[in-house]
Structure 1
Amino acid sequence: MAALVLAAQGRLDFRTFLFANVGADSENPATLHYFEQYAAPFAAAHGLDLIELHRETKNGTETIRQRIIRSNGSRQTIPVFLTNGKPGSRVCTKEFKILVTGAWLKAHGATADNRATVAMGISLDEIGRANESKAMPYERLVYPLLDLKVRRADCPRIIRSAGLPVPPKSSCDFCPMRKIPEWQAMHEHDPERFARACEVEDTINANLAAKGKRPVFLTRTGRPLRELFKAGVQVPLFDTDDEACDSGWCWT
């Protein structure tokens, strides 16, 4: 969002912004509200193209939650935690962000011989996340916030300078990269959303149980999410960032 403001101010030479929406049943509802109420009107008012994309299949639009539930958990997609606390593999970022954005780029002329310049909003204090080698064959990754020496702490100020509120953190309702205090806040303040996350975990584990396999979890605790905040259950006070999402594609 800070990059969008900087483009409106003429400090970034980018006019097209892509938002890969993973689904109204999957993405943080506050993120979607912000996109509709603030980001989209702001972009339009400043002559910027802010384009909302979705994953399209031969059967229509697919969301991450739909894939998990409709497959009865066999296509878990997200990086659930194994019983030893380590995260499993994930394809959510690639299939619902990178490839969705890539499909739009290729439809607009991007090829291996005519690569699209794709700017990632990684800030100076996150420079370790910048990795041009992660580019797809049809794109060239650049990091304009690094060139402007913009730090993460600068972003709220930049956004507020345009008269906009700071957006909420973008993540799926059931993202295993969420920290324990974030899960607890969801449990206390948005129980319906929390219940939907529990359903995703339950669905995946029902599939594993039918195959005689060990369960997986949406947290490192090794306990089912729906049991985590019951009375008398001890939960860890702190989480580490060791396995945090570092792709830079959330809110893309």
Structure 2
Amino acid sequence: MRVFSYGGGVQSTAALVLAAQGRIDFGVFLFANVGDDSEDPATLAYLERYAKPYAALHGIQLIELHRQRRDGTRETLYGRLTKSGGRSLPIPVRMSNGAPGTRSCTADFKIKVIGRHLKATGATADNPATVGVGISLDEIERVNNRRAEPYERPVYPLLDHTPPLRRHDCARIIAAAGLPVPPKSACWFCPFRRPATWAETRRDRPELFQRACDLEALLNQRRTTLGKDPVWLTRFNRPLADAVGIAQDMLPGFDTDDALCDNGACFT
């Protein structure tokens, strides 16, 4: 079994193009959707408008997976954060002392979701699936951070490419195939977002920015009730609306290149 972990961003979309061109051997791409209410709306729009039709045109299966509860209903990351009586903080919020909090979002909503699919379709410790991960040369240090599960054997086709591919190479591959370069991929409330990205969200998508502010406030209302210190979506130890201003307009062609979950592994 050979599958590719598709994150919806630049690196994994470049891998989709390479697979369509027969330059890498992956006929199945797996997208673990952490929730239609959780993924960046721009990523979901790109998936439906461009990635899925492109995959189908070239005979590639792009399978969208979701976290399922035992009763068969879907659980989303945003739903877990906001459910009544919820106490867990599965996202890597910043604690009041500046330290990042622990997180389980990647494990629960991506790694385990893909793992269940692999095991359901025959992957075992004795017969592991080959799983492609879209890590590019400019983030090679992330290879050592990704722990393999017994039922999988991770490989890195962008690094094995001759020459190894960087993020800007991936963007050129996508554009050359006639596709628009996808937006950076991450949950819209991800604390890994850089201040510049938050500022751009506040400028370009103020409704989405306000939703993030409201989520941060909800989490802190609950922590106050529990007698706990507040947490934040940035490292600045204050509310998002106070910590981030509105970004200035960028000149055409400039990009901050702050990748998030583009390869579907969320820094793992």
**TM norm structure 2:** 0.84
Corresponding residue for residue 117 of structure 1: 130
Corresponding residue for residue 52 of structure 2: 40
Deviations 1:47-89 (A, max 9, x none): 0010011111124101110001004451221000011222110
Cα distance, 1:41–1:212 mapped onto 2, change above 3 Å: same
Which residue of 26, 31, 41 corresponds with 1:29? 41
C-alpha RMSD over aligned residues = 2.2
Corresponding residue for residue 175 of structure 2: 160
Corresponding residue for residue 69 of structure 1: 82
Whether the 8 Å contact between 1:80 and 1:87 is mirrored in structure 2 is yes
- 5+ residue gaps in structure 2? 1-12, 247-255
> CA offset at residue 34 of structure 1?
0.3
Corresponding residue for residue 237 of structure 2: 222
Helix, strand or coil at the partner of 2:114: helix
Matches within 5 A, 1:1-252: 1-59=13-71, 60-131=73-144, 134-148=147-161, 149-229=164-244, 249-250=265-266
- 5+ residue gaps in structure 1? 232-238
> CA offset at residue 188 of structure 1?
2.3
Corresponding residue for residue 4 of structure 2: none
**TM norm structure 1:** 0.89
Helix, strand or coil at the partner of 1:184: helix
> CA offset at residue 249 of structure 1?
1.3
**Percent of pairs with identical residues:** 57
Partners of 2:149 and 2:200 in 1: CA distance: 37
Whether the 8 Å contact between 1:132 and 1:141 is mirrored in structure 2 is no
Q: Which has the higher contact order (CA 8 A, sep 6+)?
A: 2
Deviations 1:60-119 (A, max 9, x none): 101110001004451221000011222110011111110011111011001111111101
Q: Which runs of 4+ in 1 moved over 4 A?
A: 244-248
Partners of 2:243 and 2:145 in 1: CA distance: 39
Helix, strand or coil at the partner of 1:62: coil
Corresponding residue for residue 8 of structure 2: none
> CA offset at residue 200 of structure 1?
1.8
Deviations 1:125-158 (A, max 9, x none): 2221113860111111111111101121100110
Partners of 2:115 and 2:16 in 1: CA distance: 20
Whether the 8 Å contact between 1:25 and 1:63 is mirrored in structure 2 is yes
Aligned residues: 241
> CA offset at residue 189 of structure 1?
2.1
Helix, strand or coil at the partner of 1:51: strand
